[in-house]
Chains A and B, each alone.
Chain A
Amino acid sequence: MEAEAREAGLVQSLNPLSKLLVTVFYLVILLSFHRYDLAGVLLMGVYPVLLFTLGRIPLRPMWGRMRLILIPVCLIGIANPFFDRLPVSPGSPLTGGMVSMVTLLLKGLFAVSATYLLMVTTPMDDLCRALRKLRVPAILVTVILLIYRYLTVFLEEVARIRTAYAMRAPGRKGIHFKQWGPLAGMLLLRSMDRSEAVYQSMSLRGFRGEFPFGTDRPFSRRDLVYVLLGIAVPLIIRYL
């Protein structure tokens, strides 16, 4: 995703702050639709459809992310057809519960798409810079960047631990309860030692509580058009 976000492209070249503001505004309007307003929610699909096609953004990686979010949404939404059986019009087999369930699923789908589009077109450094411009405290932004940078290191370490354990305990599903403490505990202690080394190296490089960010992308006329469209179109769909 990071590599995708650093490619040259129409959306990628926009100022990260404008992309963040448009995404948040889109989400606010999307979630404000009434649960029976299926047509309105469907129209909100214009934003992800246009961005996916214009930006040549791959769809496949998003489907994997969908399952995490769609399972709880389905679990809650599936109750609606059972508890709301009033037909949408006299004699119609379609009930209010069915409509609200589909609306809920579409909201989930579009909300994940919007966040995915933000991430796939904006590198994490740029996004954190935008957060700082919105006055998000430096300590929080620094911790976010550190987690992001060390995540891959730790995931690789966990994968090695799991492989080593699987080779010593073939056929066993999960970690035996007697090994819960030593296995995760050793990784924890190594992590804490590593954090001290990180602190020493950051101090030597002049760390004073915040990572310095490089030069920012200028807020261009294209950004202005993007923000104005990003605010106007959802408002028109919602209220006209």
Chain B
Amino acid sequence: MHMSDALVSPVVAGILYVCSASTAGFSIRKLRGGDMNRKVPLMGVMGAFVFAAQMINFSIPGTGSSGHLCGGMLLSALLGPYAGFLTMTAILLVQCLLFADGGLMALGCNVWNMGFYGCFVGGLLIWQAFMRKGPTRGRIIAASVLGSVVSLLLGAFSVTLETLASGVTELPFAVFVRFMLPIHLVIGLVEGLITAAVLVFVFQARPELLQEGSGSREAGRQMKATTVLGILAAVALVTGGLLSHLASSSPDGLEWSVGKVTGSTELVRDSEAGAWAAGVQEQIALLPDYAFKDSEKGTSFSGIAGALVVLTICLGLGLLLRRPARKAEKTGFDGAA
């Protein structure tokens, strides 16, 4: 579900950066009261564990494919939602820097889509509500599966909105949502089951480890599981109604293609969200944007050819001017403590 830099516009990236940074600030404030120094090594080591655990392929019976852990849910269950969110933020930053999984500009979006929903909706809202009366095998499985499914669906829905608002795709909203949500429903179920299997094992081996994430000290203030389920059902109904309305008002890809061939359906050039975001972006730009079809600059083939010539010259200059290779003495990396 990692978004790459190419899929977000600076406006969308900036808004999501502000949202994610505010949530990180709030999480740090919540952690300051406790023994934060003791928690930091646990957060670091657990972050590395979640990272490494992604390399384990858990085979899904009867499908021939495999799944992975849901990091946000697992970290929230073991560290609590605030430490879990900060750890997810660090994981996502390391992933984008070292493995190009995500991007520096899209980091705010990715932290929101995976960290916020995983830790605050899956962890704080769902997990803690189910653990209100203490963990049991059944509650752990139910909370893990429900938390993973809900947080993944919300994350996938956010990816759709962010991509469309960035105006980088011509996909109609309804088609995009229909493409994203069913896939992530299945992924959420699988990830939930894998996460549940790990947490049930931890519960049987070392039940005290689940107390931190269960928020037992604040249990009295948590919502009941039934209340959470009620809220989720209401949200699902409202969202479903909204989506079905949008789906009926916009043609999907197949309808559009048929319409184009037969000439009976008008071309849908862009989404409303994309047009709105493009408008905002042009308003805040120092100079008006120049588009392919609206301006001579950047539109003509000579413009593209000119850009290619400049690139070639730069490549030649770089090769000519670069210093002779000089191997410096490697200092090495001291690795783990």
Contact = CB atoms under 8 A, between A and B. Distances in A.
To the question of whether A and B form a pair in one complex, the answer is yes
A42 B47 contact: no
A85 B286 CA distance: 30
Contacts of A42: 304, 307-308, 311
A50 B317 CA distance: 8
Contacts of B333: 2-3, 6, 123
Contacts, number: 363
A36 B291 contact: yes
A182 interface: yes
Contact of B336 (A85, A153, A172): A153
Nearest to B65: A174
23 contacts: A1-B98, A7-B330, A8-B326, A31-B6, A32-B10, A32-B285, A35-B168, A37-B290, A49-B314, A49-B315, A50-B314, A52-B318, A69-B6, A72-B2, A85-B260, A116-B100, A139-B28, A154-B49, A177-B61, A185-B197, A191-B45, A191-B49, A194-B45
Interface string A106-127: 0110011001101100011001
Interface residues of A, number: 118
A213 interface: no
B7 A73 contact: yes
A108 B6 contact: yes
Interface string A148-159: 111111110111
B47 A146 contact: yes
Given A96-B292, A104-B168, A181-B197, 10 more contacts: A35-B168, A46-B310, A65-B100, A84-B269, A88-B292, A143-B90, A147-B47, A177-B58, A185-B198, A189-B202
Question: Chain B contact residues: over half helix, strand or loop, or mixed?
Answer: helix
Contacts of A173: 57, 59, 64, 66
A73 B37 contact: no
